[in-house]
Each structure stands twice: as structure tokens, then as C-alpha cells.
């Protein structure tokens, strides 16, 4: 299992980190450029704890996406001296993804996108476990940064450990 968290101002990053760090699980955190400065403290903790950081961009054209990536890269360098090569394209199509791949970017592509899921933590945990059980091989899961996500992790991570599911850090060469 590979976990990524799309950080769009939901306010739950600290609680998510508490859950992940408590369980010894590493994840990818995807920030929109406009969310980086407000999350400087979280970014330092993310990097210091061994998690990965990437950018989440909303542009639809290559020029829009590249502009957002330039902005995000400059902020990451200034805030935490980090150079990322991972991007999640929220709206852009395959043509933009292909062009970015040629430029050296790794484009995150979730297999299970749970962002915006407002069901209870128990319901979400059961649904994810059922989905995991029906798949073979690795699964790329994306969650959001709402406070309810930490509640989900509180239920999901111990259950995954009991059922012998392994989590890995989503490295740029693996997706």
C-alpha cells in the first residue's frame, strides 16, 4: 500500500502525521503551491519524519501547470530546502502528464481516490479494507487532509497491520 495525502487546507495535517508517525507509516504529502507557506511547520515535520513531499496542481494546460510547479518549487526550496519531482495533476490530461514525464517529473496517479469522502471513519475503513482484499499487488491510495482522515487512519492502520498489509513510501520511481 502506498498512501498519499492531498493537502488543500483541510486542517488535519498535524493529526494525520500523528497517526502515521505513531504507526511507523511513511506517506507522500501533496500540497498545492498556495498551501505551502501556511504549512511551513508541517512541511518541516513531514521532511524530518521521512515522509515525501510533492505538488498538487490545478492547471489544465502545460503552461499553467509549469507555472504552478515553478511557484511550488521555489516555495519548497525557500521553506524547507527541498527539491521535489512528484506532481499530482488534478485536472490536466495525459498530454500534460506525458510532457511532464519527459521533463523528469513523476506523476502520482492514485488507484483509489478517497478525497472528499464524507462517510464515517468506520465505514470508510471497512470500504478500504474490502477494496484492498479484492486487489492483488500494490495499491496507491489518496486521501485528503480533513480532520476525519486522522480518525480513519486510527481505525485503518492497526487493522492493516493485523491483517499483514505492508505500507511503503511512494518513491518517485514507483508510480
69: β partners:
none
Domain at 2-162, CATH class: alpha beta
Average pLDDT over residues 117-123: 92
Summarised one tens digit per residue, pLDDT across range 17-75 is: 999 999 999 999 999 999 999 999 999 999 999 999 999 999 999 999 999 999 999 99
pLDDT of 134 reads: 81
What's CA 64's distance to the chain center, in Å? 21
- Helix, strand and coil percent figures for the chain, each rounded to 5: 45, 15, 35
Measured CA distances, 10 to 28, 115, 138, 145, 163 (Å): 16, 11, 27, 5, 30
pLDDT of 147 reads: 87
- If we measure between CA atoms, which residue out of 133, 153, 134 comes closest to residue 143? 153
Measured CA distances, 150 to 18, 61, 68, 77 (Å): 8, 33, 28, 28
Q: How far apart are CA 148 and CA 89, in angstroms?
A: 24
Of the two residues 14 and 174, the one the predictor is more confident about is 14
pLDDT of 136 reads: 75
Q: What is the DSSP letter of 153?
A: H
For the full predicted model, state whether its pTM sits above 0.75: yes
Q: Is the pLDDT of residue 154 over 70?
A: yes
Return the domain boundaries, the chain. 2-162
38-42 LR contacts (CB < 8 Å, sep 24+): 38/9, 39/7, 39/13, 40/79, 40/80, 42/7, 42/13, 42/14, 42/17
Q: Is the pLDDT of residue 114 over 60?
A: yes
Average pLDDT over residues 86-110: 95
Amino acid at each position: 500500500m502506498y498512501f498519499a495525502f492531498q493537502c488543500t487546507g483541510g486542517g488535519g495535517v498535524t493529526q494525520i502525521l500523528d497517526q502515521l508517525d505513531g504507526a511507523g507509516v511513511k506517506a507522500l504529502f501533496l500540497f498545492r503551491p498556495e498551501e505551502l507557506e501556511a504549512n511551513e511547520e508541517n512541511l518541516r515535520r513531514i521532511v524530518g519524519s521521512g515522509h515525501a513531499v510533492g505538488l498538487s496542481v490545478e492547471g489544465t494546460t502545460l503552461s499553467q501547470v509549469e507555472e504552478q510547479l515553478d511557484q511550488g518549487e521555489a516555495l519548497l526550496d525557500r521553506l524547507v530546502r527541498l527539491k521535489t519531482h512528484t506532481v499530482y495533476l488534478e485536472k490536466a490530461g495525459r498530454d500534460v502528464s506525458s510532457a511532464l514525464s519527459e521533463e523528469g517529473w513523476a506523476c502520482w496517479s492514485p488507484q483509489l481516490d478517497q478525497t472528499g469522502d464524507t462517510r464515517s471513519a468506520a465505514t470508510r475503513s471497512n470500504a478500504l479494507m474490502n477494496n484492498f482484499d479484492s486487489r492483488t499487488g500494490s495499491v496507491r491510495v489518496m486521501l485528503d487532509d480533513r480532520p476525519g482522515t486522522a480518525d480513519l487512519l486510527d481505525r485503518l492502520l492497526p487493522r492493516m497491520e493485523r491483517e499483514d498489509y505492508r505500507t511503503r513510501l511512494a518513491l518517485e520511481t514507483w508510480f
